[in-house]
């Protein structure tokens, strides 16, 4: 069976000739925490002390934001990161956004989303959600607790993704999630797009095909 990666070591290929560009293509897994925990804190403060929203708004909206993130996570992974535009330029774009991670899956510096990509996306999502809350509910202020949940979901995704590649788990839950992601990498990249949860793989029917009645394994899929 063809090998679906270039190297399984904590290493990667140089992506850009310019040193400063290549530097910004790599990021330590702790950087998203440093950037986004203050953002979460700010919007939570706004929700409670500035907007004076009831806990009956805040808690459900945070939960809803996390759920919406899992939906965004699945669809971004499946339909954006795994989409390869036509031509040589398309191949290069795909490699920069996600192909490099599949070629070098244990490269610890290319596991979480780089801020030059995640921050513009966060701004786009924020104003899109604000518009939707204003248009459909006439309450744009509700975006604050919702966005708290959405960003929490994103951080859970980023930290989970790093851990699935670099942490030796003992818990059945985490071992099962890790196996799900490893099969996506090493056996079947056309299924198993959920990282922090398998929920949307079940809904979209992109769970891995089984050859027996038991849970699918890497060895079985091979």
Summarize the confidence of residues 159-167 as an average pLDDT. Answer: 96
The position carrying tokens 């996506």 is 184
Q: Which residue has the tokens 């925490």?
A: 33
81-84: which pairs have CB atoms within 8 A and are 24 or more residues apart?
A: 82/189, 82/193
Rounded Cα distance, 38 and 182, in Å: 32
**What percent of the chain has a predicted confidence (pLDDT) above 70?**
92
* pLDDT tens per residue across span 9-20: 877 788 888 888
The answer to whether 145 and 58 have CB atoms below 8 angstroms apart is yes
Q: What is the mean pLDDT of the chain?
A: 90
Residue with tokens 């513009």: 120
pLDDT in tens, 190-213: 999 999 999 999 999 999 986 544
Which runs of consecutive H residues, i.e. helices, occur in 113-196?
Answer: 115-137, 143-166, 172-186
C-alpha–C-alpha distance, residues 62 and 66, integer Å: 6
- pTM here is 0.91
pLDDT-derived band of residue 220, with 50, 70 and 90 as boundaries? very low
Q: Is residue 173 exposed (0-12), middle (13-18) or buried (19+ Cβ within 10 Å)? A: exposed
Instruction: Give the pLDDT score at 214.
Output: 46
CB 62 within 8 A of CB 148: yes
pLDDT tens column, 80-133: 999 988 888 888 888 888 888 998 999 989 889 899 999 999 999 999 999 999
Query: What pLDDT is attached to residue 69?
Result: 98
Taking alpha carbons only, the member of 90, 79, 67 closest to residue 154 is 67
- For the chain, the first-to-last Cα distance in angstroms comes to 8
| In the block, residue with structure tokens 């890497």 | 218
Domain definitions of the chain by residue range:
19-171
């Amino acid at each position: 069976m063809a090998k679906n990666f270039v190297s399984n070591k904590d290493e990667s290929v140089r992506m850009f000739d310019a040193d400063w560009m290549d530097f910004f293509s790599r990021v330590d897994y702790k950087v998203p925490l440093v950037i986004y925990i203050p953002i979460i804190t700010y919007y939570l403060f706004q929700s409670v002390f500035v907007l004076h929203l009831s806990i009956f708004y805040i808690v459900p909206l945070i939960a809803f934001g996390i759920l919406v993130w899992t939906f965004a996570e699945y669809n971004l992974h499946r339909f954006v990161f795994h989409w390869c535009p036509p031509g040589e330029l398309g191949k290069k774009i795909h490699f920069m956004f996600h192909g490099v991670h599949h070629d070098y899956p244990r490269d610890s510096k290319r596991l979480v989303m780089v801020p030059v990509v995640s921050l513009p996306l966060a701004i786009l999502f924020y104003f899109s959600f604000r518009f939707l809350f204003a248009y459909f509910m006439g309450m744009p202020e509700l975006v604050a607790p919702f966005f708290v949940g959405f960003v929490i979901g994103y951080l859970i995704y980023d930290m989970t993704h790093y851990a699935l590649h670099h942490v030796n788990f003992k818990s059945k839950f985490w071992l099962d999630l890790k196996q799900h992601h490893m099969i996506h990498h090493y056996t079947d990249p056309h299924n198993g797009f959920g990282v922090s949860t398998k929920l949307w793989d079940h809904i979209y029917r992109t769970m891995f095909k089984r050859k027996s009645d038991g849970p699918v394994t890497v060895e079985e899929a091979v």
